[in-house]
Amino acid sequence: MASDCRETLEIVAGNGLSLDGSFGTAVLEPSSRVKPSSQPRPSTDRVSPLNDEIPVSNPVVAADEPAASTGKSRSRTERGWMSDVVELTKPRIVTMILVTTVASALIAGTATLSLVDWFWLMIGTGLIAGSAGAANQVWESVIDLRMPRTANRPVPGGRLSRGLAIAITSSMGIAGAAMLWLGNGMVPAGVGIATWLLYVLVYTPMKTRTSWNTTVGAIAGALPVFMGYTAAGGSLTDIPGWMLFGVLACWQYPHFMAIAWLYRTQYANAGFQMTTTVEPTGRHAAWQSIAGSLALATCGVVMAWFPAGELVVSIASVAATVLILAASWPLLRASLNFRATPNDQTARKMMRWSLVVLPAVLLVMTLRAAL
């Protein structure tokens, strides 16, 4: 939830990531064949010669150029009004939050959740998460124009007015909180409201002020586990709930440090204070990724031995420990490789492994809680 997932899809798809983010139509030359050119990747790194050659098939678009000039902009009629509303809510982030909500509810126990309870939990959580993502886009709509990868979002792209986007954001947030309160209780609703406030009013403005925004964003991104956990009968003081929170919060360091590295030039041009723009050699980002990977595995192991809040010494605990360490290892190895050689290739591998490791660890934790 701490960052847009558009870059995640591009990186995982292996589409030859271009830091200028432009996918517009290239200008045709008179010749019958035009060979793709390559140019050095711009870098904010003033002391490290990490300027890999990146294939460029489109002209470079200036960071402050309007979205329409990138060739990506399409009319509202072509895209459809509803598709712009869906894009406003950052649906991939909403999907990830719903998956972790289901896992946390299953770990807490399903005895108290009926089908109706599940309905209110999923719809309410999805609405609050979508509202937070939309509010983030409204807040950053001016800054988004400075980055080619975000300039064509619904608000900066001119397809949705700021007023309409605010109305959608407010309606979704209020409806989501009300559904959680009426369907699942005051605590899940309170966690949802706290998540929204932290993400929108604290994390979002911090992005242009301090690199500590990643830590605040990690907390905001992990809090939704308590929505599912408390809705299923868990308590805010339970060890399993906090280990779930720890897994989600720690996972976000290698995940978002990879994104921050791959888009460090755009972030710097837009004025974002990310770790990779404040300290452009990648050393700090790498160490934070290593620490996050180690802490993620630790939280999973603790959960294996305290599945219900009390120490349980059993074969299941040993087996879960082995599985969690095995599932976590690829992300730690990718973080270590990024520390040894901070470049786009190692960062992209760290990103890809983060998307595999998180569901794997959550699956093991869920199975352990059921045994």
What is the pLDDT confidence band of residue 51, given thresholds at 50, 70 and 90? very low
Helix axes 115-139, 91-108, angle to 10 degrees: 140
User: What CA–CA distances, in Å, run from 120 to 123, 163, 184, 209, 311?
Assistant: 5, 28, 7, 37, 33
Q: Can you tell me the distance from the alpha carbon of 214 to that of 77, in angstroms, rounded to the nearest whole number?
A: 37
Q: H or E element: which one contains 40?
A: strand 37-40
∠ CA 124-129-133, rounded to 5°: 150
The two three-digit tokens of residue 249, written as one number: 């919060």
| 297, 324 contact by CB (below 8 A) | yes
Q: Can you tell me the distance from the alpha carbon of 260 to that of 130, in angstroms, rounded to the nearest whole number?
A: 23
pLDDT at 56 over 60: no
Per-residue model confidence (pLDDT) at position 144:
87
Beta bridge partners of 244: none
pLDDT at 107 over 80: yes
> Which range has the top average pLDDT, 92-96, 154-158, 213-217?
213-217
Per-residue model confidence (pLDDT) at position 79:
56
Which pTM does this prediction carry?
A: 0.76
What is the pLDDT confidence band of residue 63, given thresholds at 50, 70 and 90? very low
Per-residue model confidence (pLDDT) at position 53:
32
Q: Can you tell me the distance from the alpha carbon of 123 to that of 189, in angstroms, rounded to the nearest whole number?
A: 12
Q: H or E element: which one contains 138?
A: helix 115-139
Per-residue model confidence (pLDDT) at position 110:
59
How confident is the model over 72-81, as pLDDT tens digits? 444 444 457 8
Rg (CA), the chain: 21
How confident is the model over 250-277, as pLDDT tens digits? 999 999 999 999 999 999 999 999 999 9
User: What CA–CA distances, in Å, run from 23 to 16, 45, 59, 348?
Assistant: 11, 25, 9, 19
Beta bridge partners of 158: none
- Mean pLDDT score across all residues of the chain: 82
- Name the residue type at position 367: L
- Name the residue type at position 339: R
User: What CA–CA distances, in Å, run from 318 to 99, 303, 304, 321?
Assistant: 26, 11, 8, 5
